[in-house]
Structure 1
Amino acid sequence: MEIAIKSLILCAILLNICIPTNAILRNSLPEDGKLNFTELGVKYGHSVEEHDVITEDGYILTMFHIKGKRRKPIFVFHGIADTADIFIIRGKTSLVIALANAGYDVWVGNARGNKYGRRHVKLDADKDLNFWDFSLHEIGVYDIPAMIDYILQHTGEKKLQTIGHSQGTTTQYVLLSKRPEYNEKIELFISLAPVAFLTDLSPPVSTIAQFGPTLAEAFKSIGVEHVFPEKSPVTNFVRSVCSQDVFSYEICFLLSGFYLVGFDTKRFEPEFLKVFIGHYPGGTSRKNLMHVNQFVLSKRFCEFDYGPNGNLDHYGYLVPPDYNLYKVTTKVALIVGENDALSKVKDVEIQRTILPNIVYYHVMEDKDWNHIDFTVGNDMNVTLFPFIFKLLD
C-alpha cells in the first residue's frame, strides 16, 4: 500500500501522465474552488483590476489590483508552482481581503509558467519547450522588477512594500542581490516562510532531493519541461477524488503532497482542502525544481548549476556564483514557523546573520505552525496578520 501511494504521488506531482483522462471522477469542488482571483475578489466585496505586464524577455504576466485609500502600494508574491489565488482563497480571512478591507492598495503578482503567466510575445507555452527554460533566477531578475516598475509607474509612487511567501521570498532575494538598485524601490520586505539556504532539511524532503538530478534528467529525456500543470489528467483526477466524501481527508492530504511542508491539519480543515485543490498546483518548470534541488544538495544559495562546462560558458567559473545577500539592503522582516519542513528555523537564522538590515524577526508561537499556514491557515487573521499590519504601518 505504501509503495503504491508513493508511486502515485510521484506520478501526480512530476510526470502527470500515469492516469488516463477517462479515469476522472465527477468534479465536486465547492464554489470557491472554481472561482478565479477576480471572481473571488468580487464575491468578498472588492472590485479587481487585471493588468498585463510584459517582462524584458517577453513573458506576459497577469497582475491583480484592488484599489485602496492608502497611497503606498503593497506587492504580494507567491511561492513555487503557486499563483496569486493562494492569497485570496480563504475569503474573508485571506491576506488579500484583509489588506483590502483595511484600505491598503494591494497588487498581487504571478510568476511565469503558472496559469496566469502562460503567455509570451513569441513563444507558445504548449508548443515551445524554450518557454519553460527558466528557474527562480529569471523570476527574480525579470518578473518581479517588471511588476514593481509597473506598479510604481501606475501609481506615481517612488517606493512600495512587499510581502513574499516561500519561493516568493527567494526570488526577491535574487532580485535585490542581482539588481541592487531595486533596494531603493522597496521600503519594507516581509518574508513569510523565507527560503534561501536549505541546509537543514529532514526526510522525506531531503531523501527526495537525493534523487532529484536523476529524475530531472529522466524527464528531460522524454521532453517533460512543464511540471505541476494546472490542467492535466492527473491534476483533474486528484481534484475529483479529493472533492468527494468517500475518500479520507488524510489520503487526499497525502496525495496532494502537503505532508512535505510540515504535517499538521488543525489549520487546514477537510472542507477547505476541497477549495485548495481547485487552485493548486498552478504550474512551473522542471528547471525551477532543479534549481531548488541544487540548493539542497550544494547547501548554497547560488545561481543555477549548468555543470562545469556550462558554468564556464555562463559565469566564467567552474561553479555557479552565490547570490550575495549582503547586497539586500532594504528593510527585511523574517517570520518563520517551527513546524515548517522547508523554511527551517536554523536556515532562516543563517539569513538573519547575513542580511544587513533585519528590522523584525519572529518565530510563530504555536510550535505546530507550518509552511502553508502562512497563506491558508484558518486562524491567520488573529495569529499572523497583526504582525503584518504592525510592520506595514
Structure 2
Amino acid sequence: MGERTTENMSLMFVLVTLLYSTPTSCFTFHKENNACPRLLEYPVKAFSPHCYVNPNVLSSTPEMIKQNGYKCGTYKVVSEDGYTSLIFRVLPQEDDGGEKGQPIVLDHGVQVNSAAWTWMGNRSLAFVLARAGYDVWLANQRDSGYTTHIKYKTSDYRFWTTTLDDVASYEVPAILKTIASETNKSGSIIYIGHSRGTVLGFMYASEYPDEAQKYLRGVVALAPAVYLEFSFFFKIVFYVAAIILRKIPVINYPDILTKKFYQILCTNLPHVCMLIIYAASGSASQFLPDDLLAFYSIFPLSLSTMHFIQLFQIYRTGRFQKYDYGKKQNILKYGQAEPPLYHLSNVKLPVYLFYGKRDVYMKKKTVKRTFEEIGSSEKEYFSVPIGNDDPKLQFGHNDFISSRYIEELLYQDLLKVLNKLKPKE
C-alpha cells in the first residue's frame, strides 16, 4: 500500500512539473489566464491551452489607454456643486506637437465609467476614433469611481444624493469648458453618449441651448434613453426596485467587492454571467466569450439611487422632466408642484440617434418620439445595423459597447456620420 501511494505521488509530481514547465505552445498552467474563446473553458482557464492573458481585466481606464499604445492625459474637472471628477484624454505615444484633430467627448451609461470606451482593446470606440484622427476625451460621471467632493467622502450619504439634473447642469458644462479651454476648439466638440450619457446630453442641450451651441458641433446618441419602454419583466423589476431603493442613497457600494465576486462567479459559472448580460442588454448573441472577465471588470459599478429613480420616473410619467421630490419639495425647489419639463425642441444642434431593435429599454416608437421632439433641422435616426434586417445582428442595449461585430455593424456608419460634423469653415 505504501509503495503504491509513493508511486502515485511520484506520478502526480511529474504531471504537475509538466504542467508548469511545458512550453506555451503545448500545455501550460497560467493562473492569470483571464480570457477564453469558449465559456466552458473558464472553469479550467488556469491550464487551458486556449485561454490567455487579457491585460484589460481589472485595469483602470488610464492603464487600458497605455496598454493599448497611447499616452493618457488626465484632467481635473471641478463642478460648481463641489464635485471634482477626472476625465481622460487619449494621446498618441509620440506627440509631435502638431495640430490635434476634432475633439470628441464620450459619456458613459449607468454602472460603468469611462472604461466602457476602452475595455475591448483595439475594438474600443476610444481607440477607433483616435486612429481616425480625432482628439478623444473620456468623461466620468460623479458615481464613476473617479470623483471626489470638497466636503463629503464617498462613504457619506450626501455624496450620493445627486440627480441627473445636477450632472447635466454642473458636470457636463464643466467638462465641455475644460475641453474647449485645452483644445481652443470651442464650437467643434462632438458629444457622443451611451444610454444615461444620452439623457445627460439632451438635458444639457435643452436646458442651456445657447451654451451648448457655443461648445458643441453636434450630438450622437447611442441607445438614446430619453423615453423608455420596458418589457413586462422589467416593468415589475423596476417598480419593485424603485420602492425598495428610495431610502438607500447608492446601489452597489463599494463596488470593489462586486468586482471580486463576479471574477469568481464568471470563472466558475460563466453561463450565469452570460444570463446577466442577456438580462441587462436584451441580447447576448453578439457578446464575445473572450470578453467575459474584462466586461465584469467594468460592470456593475456603483450607481446613485436618485439617478435610477429619475430614469424610472421619466418612464412612468412619459415626461422628460426634472427630479420629482414630491409636491411640497417641488414647490420649494422649482416654484411649482410638478417637476419642470426638459423641452427637446430647444435642441438646435445636429443630432444623430442610433438604436437597436433588441434593446429591452426602448422601442422604435420611443426613439421616434425623441427624434420628433428634437428642434434641430439637421437630425437623423438609425436602427443598427443600418440597412440590415438579419434578426441575429440587431443590437441590444449594451451591444453599443460590447458587440463582437461592432466595427462592421456600428463604427463604419458612425464614422460616416461624424464626417458630417466636421467643423464649419
TM-score by length of 2: 0.79
| Within-5 A mapping of 1:269-284 | 269-284=288-303
Aligned to 2:271: 250
Aligned to 2:166: 138
Residue 80 in structure 1 maps to residue 110 in structure 2: yes
**Alpha-carbon deviation of 1:258?**
4.3
Q: Would you say the 8 A contact 2:259–2:297 is kept in 1?
A: no
**Alpha-carbon deviation of 1:96?**
0.5
Residue 291 in structure 1 maps to residue 310 in structure 2: yes
Structure 1 distance, partners of 2:304, 2:89, is 26
**Local SS of the residue matching 1:34:** coil
Aligned to 1:178: 207
Matched residue type, 1:250: H
Matched residue type, 1:98: V
Aligned to 1:11: none
Aligned to 1:104: 134
Give the direction of change, closer, same or farther, for the CA distance of 1:231–1:212 in structure 2 (3 Å limit): closer
**Alpha-carbon deviation of 1:336?**
0.7
Structure 1 distance, partners of 2:307, 2:116, is 19
Residue deviations 1:314-344, cap 9 Å, x none? 1122211211111111110011110011132
Structure 2 distance, partners of 1:236, 1:319, is 42
**Local SS of the residue matching 1:32:** coil
Query: Which runs of at least 4 in structure 1 moved beyond 6 Å after TM superposition?
Result: none
Aligned to 2:261: 237
Q: Would you say the 8 A contact 1:230–1:281 is kept in 2?
A: no
Percent identity of equivalent pairs: 26
Structure 2 distance, partners of 1:153, 1:309, is 41
**Local SS of the residue matching 1:189:** strand
Aligned to 1:59: 83
Structure 1 distance, partners of 2:395, 2:252, is 25
Give the direction of change, closer, same or farther, for the CA distance of 1:228–1:258 in structure 2 (3 Å limit): farther
Matched residue type, 1:361: Y
**Local SS of the residue matching 1:334:** strand
Structure 2 distance, partners of 1:234, 1:279, is 10
Q: Would you say the 8 A contact 1:58–1:121 is kept in 2?
A: yes
- Of 379, 382, 389, which residue of structure 1 is paired with 2:405? 379
**Alpha-carbon deviation of 1:60?**
0.7
Q: Would you say the 8 A contact 1:40–1:89 is kept in 2?
A: yes
**Local SS of the residue matching 2:70:** coil
**Alpha-carbon deviation of 1:181?**
2.2
**Alpha-carbon deviation of 1:36?**
1.2
Matched residue type, 1:229: Y
Aligned to 1:369: 395
Aligned to 1:47: 71
TM-score by length of 1: 0.86
Residue deviations 1:259-284, cap 9 Å, x none? 1331x222212221111001112222
Aligned to 1:94: 124
Structure 1 distance, partners of 2:106, 2:59, is 20
Structure 2 distance, partners of 1:301, 1:34, is 36
Q: Would you say the 8 A contact 1:212–1:293 is kept in 2?
A: no
Structure 2 distance, partners of 1:343, 1:55, is 31
Give the direction of change, closer, same or farther, for the CA distance of 1:176–1:79 in structure 2 (3 Å limit): same
Residue deviations 1:38-84, cap 9 Å, x none? 11111111111111111111101110101375432111100112100
Aligned to 1:310: 329
Structure 2 distance, partners of 1:355, 1:228, is 34
Structure with the larger RCO, 1 or 2 (CA within 8 Å, 6+ apart): 1
Between 276-285 and 90-99, the greater mean CA deviation after superposition: 276-285
Give the direction of change, closer, same or farther, for the CA distance of 1:234–1:156 in structure 2 (3 Å limit): closer
Matched residue type, 2:217: E
Task: Work out which of the two has the higher radius of gyration on C-alpha atoms and give 1 or 2.
Answer: 2
Structure 2 distance, partners of 1:259, 1:278, is 18
Q: 5+ unaligned residues in a row in structure 2: which ranges? A: 1-42, 47-52, 93-98, 420-425
**Local SS of the residue matching 1:271:** helix
**Local SS of the residue matching 1:278:** helix
Q: Would you say the 8 A contact 2:281–2:397 is kept in 1?
A: yes
- Of 337, 345, 350, which residue of structure 1 is paired with 2:356? 337
Aligned to 1:21: none
Residue 350 in structure 1 maps to residue 369 in structure 2: yes
Aligned to 1:228: 252
**Local SS of the residue matching 1:301:** coil
| Within-5 A mapping of 1:174-213 | 174-184=203-213, 185-198=215-228, 200-213=229-242
**Alpha-carbon deviation of 1:235?**
4.2
**Local SS of the residue matching 1:211:** helix
**Local SS of the residue matching 1:115:** coil
**Alpha-carbon deviation of 1:124?**
1.0
**Local SS of the residue matching 1:64:** strand
Structure 2 distance, partners of 1:213, 1:241, is 27
Structure 2 distance, partners of 1:205, 1:250, is 21
Number of matched pairs: 355
Q: Would you say the 8 A contact 1:209–1:297 is kept in 2?
A: no
Structure 1 distance, partners of 2:277, 2:166, is 26
**Alpha-carbon deviation of 1:234?**
4.2
Q: 5+ unaligned residues in a row in structure 1: which ranges? A: 1-24
Q: Would you say the 8 A contact 1:225–1:285 is kept in 2?
A: yes
Aligned to 1:10: none
